[in-house]
Amino acid sequence: MSFFSQPVGVSHFLVVGAVLFVSGVVCMAVKRNALGVLMGIELVLNGANVNFVAFSSPFLRSDNAYALGLDGQLISLFVIVLAAAEAAVALAITLNFYNNHSTVDVDRADELKG
Amino acid sequence: MAPDASLPLLLGLAWLLPLASFALIVLVGPKMGKAGVLAAYVATGAILTSFVLSVIAFGIWHFGHLGYDRKTAETHVVAAAEDAHGSGEHAAGESEHAGADSHAAHGVPTAPPRVFTKDWYTLAQFGALKLSISYYIDSLTVLMFTMVSLIATLIHFYSFGYMHEELHEVVDHEVTLADGHHLHRRGRFYRFFQYLSLFCFSMLGLVIAGNVLMVFVFWELVGICSYFLIGFYIERKSAQNAANKAFIVNRVGDFGMIIGMMALWASLGTFAFGDIDGQQGIFSSVRPSANESQVTVPDGMVKFAATEHVAAGVEATPAQISTWRSEGYGYWLLVIAGVGIFCGCVGKSAQFPLHVWLPDAMEGPTPVSALVHSATMVAAGVYLAGRFYPVFAPEALLVIAYVGAITLLLAATIAITAVDIKRVLAYSTVSQLGYMMLALGVGGWAAGLFHLVTHAFFKSLLFMCSGSVIHAVHTNDMRRMGGLRHKMPWTAYTMLVGVLAIYGAAIPFVVGLSGYYSKDSIIAQALSFWNSNPTHGAFFAAAAIGGAGITAFYMFRLWFMTFAGEPRDHHAYEHAHESPKVMYVPLVILAFFAVTVGFPRLPFSVPKLLEQARYPGEFTAGKLLPDLVYPEEHLSHLPQFHNQAEVVVTFVALGGLVLAIAFYGLRILNPAEVKSQFSAVYRLLWNKWYFDELYDAIFVRPVLLISKLVGNFDRRFIDGFVDGLARWTRAVANFDDVIDRYLVDGSVNVVAAWTYSIADGLRGLQTGKLRQYVMLIVIGTVALTLLIRWSVAAG
């Protein structure tokens, strides 16, 4: 039975997550625009979020009878909040960088090189 | 208030006030007004208040009749006089000297004197042995307090004028610095008064002390004050040497004093003079009333001397003790205690053979010479000998008499040739102190202390006058003075009063100056002693009478050379001027006292006060010298001695005066001719009997020689040993240094170098390119994943 004829399961979610993740990483690696890099980061995080959600019910369920099996969703909520905070800080850094260098090219941000 | 509470309170306050002034000046002295000028007011105020308190105490003593109710035995003397003289002359003589005296205190005392003594504060107690701060107040204490505080007050005022140079920057012309300039220094006005206050406190403490230990403490305190004040011009080499000399010579005497104290402490177990709270003091142990206050070896000393018998098992019952006592046990100890304490007096009062320090002590400012080195501190030795009088065995007294007589003659002869005005007075002081010691030594307790009081007044007067002269002409050398009476009449004529007082001027049998009465009573006592002791007495009587003649000669020599005749140094004469009022008014006051203080017919005359404190008990013959007999002092008032003394001393002193006038007044005789005629004698006197040279040869040089030898030993052996140790240590340290440098440092440096080179290599990875980092992360992650995958598959 081919992958595409199977009913939608965990592996499909993982594929979507992997695609998102790889897109994000490629975006981070090729974009010289800092905003593009930030977008790539968002993609990477959301790729991970998809994985969390996918694994939530069957794999992250606790043996505890009272647990709801929503652990994956909760962690992805945290990740989203974290991503928002991270984006705020990163945008602030980007703005400052722009104020100082009149550009948002990440290749120009190499003053701390060894 | 009852006198047993009021007297200690008044005198204690009078004693402590100068201490408060001293403490205040020590703390804030330099800030007291411009150049510390207020310090003088504080110090003077303190001592003036002390004087007022002392006078109140004196009044309480006199008007309370505290000492007058003592039992005396006039009949005893009359009987003795009948024995000795066998005529009715006695009554006339008695009325001459005591007839106007309605008080009973004149006569042979039979009971111990009226004394207030108690502990103020106990410092330490070891069983029955006790060290305390206590007072012992009798009429002598009250008299000394009044005398000391009066003279000290006047000298404080005088110092206002004399020390005024210290208010500004001082240029000391006697100190030349290495660069050839004279020393410039800040004025030390306040410090002078600070030391004066400390001295007054110490001196009054010495007088009020109720036990030997306290006396010793204050004894050393006056010594250190003397040291500070002699060395006041500390930058002068001569002042440094004089201060050290005074201090070191006094230590020699104090050594003897400590031996005496040890003898008393070990055998009697007490330092207290009087009986305090039922505990027997030294006086009543040595002079027990059970034995009619005769000198008796105390039980403690007998037991101490008979230790081997006690150890052998003989029980020390009272009967056994009296047997031992009659065998002479402990008598030596009593003599040693007495002579030991007297050694301290020899040092402090500059007696032969420790007299050498006092003339050098004249390096101090003149007010100090007047207060410390003539009137009070040096007299403290005589005071202590007088205070300790009950404890002296006849043999100890004989030592005192010999020392006093030798000092008297020695110092008087040196004074004849001295040309430094202050040194003449210093030798005169030594000589007069010898007089006092001689008086005490021949049994004249009241006579000696009477002379102490009169001498304090006229000698401080003389010193202050000499200070006034030095202040005016800026030299001590009498050969550069002369004719000064025209320039400074107040000083000249007050000094003449002082000279007449020490000369003993009088109309015999009628009236005289203070020195006349006191010297007279000493010579009368010496004659009385001669009468009982033909062997020793002749020398003492001759010394006392001869000393009077020499005193007259050198004192008038001083006055004539300074004030009479033609000025010898016109430069000094032109610049001479009378001293300011604050200086000559004290002179006038002192001159008044120098005239009147000896007057015996006042209701509170000094001899009457002293009689109240005289310890009862005739001396029996000595145990070691059985033919040594001390006559009761009251016998010296018999006309056979007294009239003789007055006549002899008047003529001898007149002889001295005539000689002085012949040499220096009218210049009939030429001193230079006499000098060349008796050049050997002159050189001997000029060089002060070669005492300084003698001590230099037998003490100073050997000590220097031994120090040099010991120093060489130190340098060669001890230093060599220490140096060897040091060299060895250094070699070990060098070796350690090599190990440290190459082994320890090397290993640490190698590690550091490695770390550096690795880090330097890794630096290239930090390109700062964000996208490259991302790529590397991705590649790394993929590589790790693949690695794990393969290793899991292989596993």
Mean pLDDT of B69-88: 48
Residue A103 lies in a domain: yes
Q: Does B768 touch chain A (CB under 8 A)?
A: yes
Give the number of C-alpha atoms closer than 13 A to the C-alpha of residue B446, restricted to the C-beta side: 31
Query: Cα(B609)–Cα(B186) distance, rounded to whole angstroms?
Result: 47
Look at strands B170-176 and B182-185 and give their pairing.
antiparallel
Query: Cα(B97)–Cα(B600) distance, rounded to whole angstroms?
Result: 8
Q: Any idea what the Cα angle at residue B447 is, between residues B442 and B452, rounded to 5°?
A: 110
Q: Looking at beta carbons, which residues of chain A come within 8 Å of B769? A: 107, 110, 113
> Does the bond joining B616 to the residue before it have cis omega, within 30 degrees of 0?
no
Mean pLDDT of B664-677: 82
What is the structure's pLDDT at B520? 87
Q: Which helix (H) or strand (E) holds B176?
A: strand B170-176
Query: Cα(B357)–Cα(B355) distance, rounded to whole angstroms?
Result: 6
| Minimal CA separation from A64 to chain B, in Å | 32
Contact criterion met (CB < 8 Å) for B766 and A113 = yes
Residue of B nearest to A21 (CA): B778
Q: CB–CB of B544/B528 below 8 Å? A: no
Report how far apart, in Å, the C-alpha atoms of B553 and of each of B427, B560, B561, B674, B684 are.
13, 11, 12, 15, 18
Query: Cα(A28)–Cα(A44) distance, rounded to whole angstroms?
Result: 9
Q: Which helix (H) or strand (E) holds B134?
A: strand B129-137
Residue B279 β-bridge partners: B276
| Minimal CA separation from B794 to chain A, in Å | 25
Contact criterion met (CB < 8 Å) for A113 and B764 = no
* pLDDT over 70 (residue B100): no
DSSP state of B376: S
Query: Cα(B210)–Cα(B116) distance, rounded to whole angstroms?
Result: 10
Q: Which residues touch B203 (CB under 8 Å, ≥6 apart)?
A: B148, B152, B218, B222, B376, B377, B380
Residue B5 β-bridge partners: none
Chains A and B: how many Cβ contacts under 8 Å?
A: 37
CA B123 to chain centre: 24
- Assign B310 to helix, strand or coil: helix
Q: Does B705 touch chain A (CB under 8 A)?
A: no
Q: Which of B774, B779, B782 to mutate to test the interface with A (most CBs of A within 10 A)?
A: B774
Q: For the beta carbon of residue B701, count every other beta carbon within 10 angstroms.
A: 11
* pLDDT over 90 (residue B579): no
Buried (b) or exposed (e) across B366-380, using 16+ Cβ within 10 A?
bbbbbbbbbbbbbbb
Q: CB–CB of B46/B243 below 8 Å? A: no
Q: Does B178 touch chain A (CB under 8 A)?
A: no
The dihedral sign for the CA sequence B485, B487, B488, B490: positive
Q: Which pLDDT tens digit goes with each residue over B394-444?
A: 889 999 999 999 999 999 999 988 888 899 999 999 999 999 999 999 988
**Confidence check on the interface: ipTM exceeds 0.85, yes or no:** no
Q: CB–CB of B533/B443 below 8 Å? A: no
Buried (b) or exposed (e) across B720-749, using 16+ Cβ within 10 A?
eeeeeeeeeeeeeeeeeeeeeeeeeeeeee
Contact criterion met (CB < 8 Å) for B774 and A113 = no
> Of B193-197, B208-212, B668-672, B748-752, which range is least confident?
B668-672
Q: Does B793 touch chain A (CB under 8 A)?
A: no
* pLDDT over 70 (residue B79): no
Mean pLDDT of B183-193: 86
Q: Which residue in B764, B768, B778 is closest to A112 by CB distance? A: B768
What is the structure's pLDDT at B606? 87
> Of A94-103, B106-115, B220-229, B702-711, which range is least confident?
B106-115
* pLDDT over 50 (residue B570): yes
Q: Any idea what the Cα angle at residue B269 is, between residues B134 and B336, rounded to 5°?
A: 100
Residue A80 lies in a domain: yes
| Minimal CA separation from A75 to chain B, in Å | 23
N-to-C CA span, chain A: 53
Domain assignments of chain B as residue spans, ordered by start: 393-686, 691-770
* pLDDT over 60 (residue B31): yes
Q: Does B27 touch chain A (CB under 8 A)?
A: no
Residue A31 β-bridge partners: none
Residue appearing with tokens 């590589």: B783
- Ramachandran angles phi, psi of A67, nearest 5°: -70, 145
DSSP state of B390: G
Q: Looking at beta carbons, which residues of chain B come within 8 Å of A36? A: none
Residue B297 pLDDT level (bands cut at 50, 70, 90): confident
* pLDDT over 70 (residue B101): no
Mean pLDDT of B56-78: 72
What is the structure's pLDDT at A15? 92
Q: CB–CB of B32/B189 below 8 Å? A: no
Residue appearing with tokens 């002192």: B590
Residue A47 lies in a domain: yes
Q: Looking at beta carbons, which residues of chain A come within 8 Å of B770? A: 37, 106-107, 109
CA B187 to chain centre: 27
Contact criterion met (CB < 8 Å) for A114 and B764 = yes
Its domain, for residue A31, covers 10-61+68-107
Query: Cα(B372)–Cα(B377) distance, rounded to whole angstroms?
Result: 5
- The CATH number given to whatever domain includes residue A98 is 1.10.287.3510
Q: Which of B763, B765, B767, B770 to mutate to test the interface with A (most CBs of A within 10 A)?
A: B770
- Assign B170 to helix, strand or coil: strand
Tokens of B504: 């003993």
Query: Cα(B582)–Cα(B159) distance, rounded to whole angstroms?
Result: 9
* pLDDT over 80 (residue B80): no
Residue A23 lies in a domain: yes
Residue A5 lies in a domain: no
Contact criterion met (CB < 8 Å) for A110 and B774 = no
Buried (b) or exposed (e) across B505-520, using 16+ Cβ within 10 A?
bbeeeeebbbbbbbbb
One-letter amino acid for residue B111 of the chain: A
Which of B88-97, B121-130, B348-357 has the highest mean predicted lDDT (pLDDT)? Answer: B348-357
How many residues make up chain A in this entry? 114
Residue B171 β-bridge partners: B184
* pLDDT over 50 (residue B99): no
| Minimal CA separation from A14 to chain B, in Å | 16
Contact criterion met (CB < 8 Å) for B763 and A25 = no
Contact criterion met (CB < 8 Å) for B769 and A111 = no
Q: Does B759 touch chain A (CB under 8 A)?
A: no
Measure the CA dihedral A12/A16/A19/A22, to 10°. Answer: -110
Q: Looking at beta carbons, which residues of chain A come within 8 Å of B762? A: 114
Tokens of B566: 């033609």
Q: Looking at beta carbons, which residues of chain A come within 8 Å of B768? A: 109-114
- Assign B123 to helix, strand or coil: strand
**pLDDT averaged over every residue in chain B:** 86
Q: Which residue in B765, B770, B778 is closest to A114 by CB distance? A: B765
What is the structure's pLDDT at B275? 87
Q: Which pLDDT tens digit goes with each residue over B221-271?
A: 999 999 999 999 888 888 999 999 999 999 999 999 999 999 888 888 888
Q: Which pLDDT tens digit goes with each residue over A25-70?
A: 999 888 889 999 999 999 999 999 998 888 776 544 556 555 556 7
Q: For helices B489-503 and B514-532, give the axis angle rounded to 10 degrees.
A: 20
What is the structure's pLDDT at B623? 77
Residue of A nearest to B771 (CA): A29
Q: Looking at beta carbons, which residues of chain A come within 8 Å of B778? A: 25, 29
What is the structure's pLDDT at B71? 63
Query: Cα(B615)–Cα(B140) distance, rounded to whole angstroms?
Result: 11
Q: Looking at beta carbons, which residues of chain B come within 8 Å of A30? A: 771
Query: Cα(B183)–Cα(B175) distance, rounded to whole angstroms?
Result: 6
How many residues make up chain B in this entry? 795
Query: Cα(B69)–Cα(B104) distance, rounded to whole angstroms?
Result: 7
Residue B111 pLDDT level (bands cut at 50, 70, 90): confident
Residue B618 pLDDT level (bands cut at 50, 70, 90): low
Query: Cα(B795)–Cα(B791) distance, rounded to whole angstroms?
Result: 6
Residue B574 pLDDT level (bands cut at 50, 70, 90): confident
One-letter amino acid for residue B136 of the chain: Y
Residue B608 pLDDT level (bands cut at 50, 70, 90): confident
Query: Cα(A84)–Cα(A49) distance, rounded to whole angstroms?
Result: 14
- Ramachandran angles phi, psi of B474, nearest 5°: 55, 35
Q: Considering its fold, how many domains does chain A have in total?
A: 1
Mean pLDDT of B493-505: 90
Nearest CA to B116 among B41, B220, B8, B214?
B8
Report how far apart, in Å, the C-alpha atoms of B735 and of each of B244, B289, B384, B742, B769 are.
51, 84, 69, 11, 54
The dihedral sign for the CA sequence B280, B283, B285, B288: negative
Q: Which residues touch A54 (CB under 8 Å, ≥6 apart)?
A: A10, A13, A14, A17, A72
One-letter amino acid for residue B733 of the chain: A
Contact criterion met (CB < 8 Å) for B770 and A107 = yes
Residue appearing with tokens 């040595």: B286
Q: Which pLDDT tens digit goes with each residue over B434-458?
A: 999 999 999 889 999 999 999 999 9
Q: Does B761 touch chain A (CB under 8 A)?
A: no
State what percent of residues in chain B have pLDDT above 70.
94
Residue B146 pLDDT level (bands cut at 50, 70, 90): very high
Q: Any idea what the Cα angle at residue B325 is, between residues B323 and B326, rounded to 5°?
A: 65
Query: Cα(B437)–Cα(B344) distance, rounded to whole angstroms?
Result: 13
Q: Looking at beta carbons, which residues of chain B come within 8 Å of A25? A: 774, 778
Q: CB–CB of B426/B373 below 8 Å? A: yes
Mean pLDDT of B323-337: 86
- Assign B169 to helix, strand or coil: coil
| Minimal CA separation from A68 to chain B, in Å | 33
What is the structure's pLDDT at B616? 80
Q: Looking at beta carbons, which residues of chain A come within 8 Å of B764? A: 114
- Ramachandran angles phi, psi of B135, nearest 5°: -120, 155
